[in-house]
Copies of this chain bind each other. A is one copy, B any other.
């Protein structure tokens, strides 16, 4: 690719724009200025103009962005113009909740399978999504061309499971396990640690600061 690599921070803001554009389009808003987008997102108007200019200039100076055109452009940039097959690894409470959440609420992804090691839940279904023994991951990932793994496994199993996930051909991991995964540089890992997020909030709860 010749184009400049987009910074992570820009990529993380694109779906925020997308959600607002979806909402505007439903409400028949055809044009929006970067200033109005700024009010909706909390990002500065300058930041928004920069973000969008990164992928080509979509706005018309002095008038704004065409909501439908911008939405389609962003869908294409992110790769949401088609459905992406994902999997959830670890079908405990959090994993099960995430399977239901992503299966119901996200038009852009398809949860095609879940994996676990617990023989008491392997074979069960959540909606029509089967929980498969993790030993079969390579076959299933190949069969369905699964691109993203959402990992909700206990901390002590996260590293070896992540290695299995990578071996199976997946290069993008959304990791909920409270562990810094050590994987090859070409593997994209995004961590959300629900314990740490909550703990840092307690700082604000305990004193008036």
Contacts and interface: CB of A to CB of B under 8 A. Distances in A.
A209 B77 CA distance: 12
B178 A79 contact: no
A89 to B, nearest CB: 14
A181 to B, nearest CB: 11
A80 interface: yes
Contact of A203 (B78, B101, B194, B207): B78
A60 interface: no
A7 to B, nearest CB: 12
Interface residues of A, number: 57
- Provide the main secondary structure of the chain A interface: helix
A197 B172 contact: no
A196 B15 contact: yes
A105 B105 CA distance: 27
Given A79-B206, A148-B198, A172-B204, 13 more contacts: A12-B200, A14-B203, A15-B195, A15-B200, A77-B203, A79-B207, A84-B202, A93-B97, A98-B194, A171-B205, A174-B198, A190-B197, A192-B197
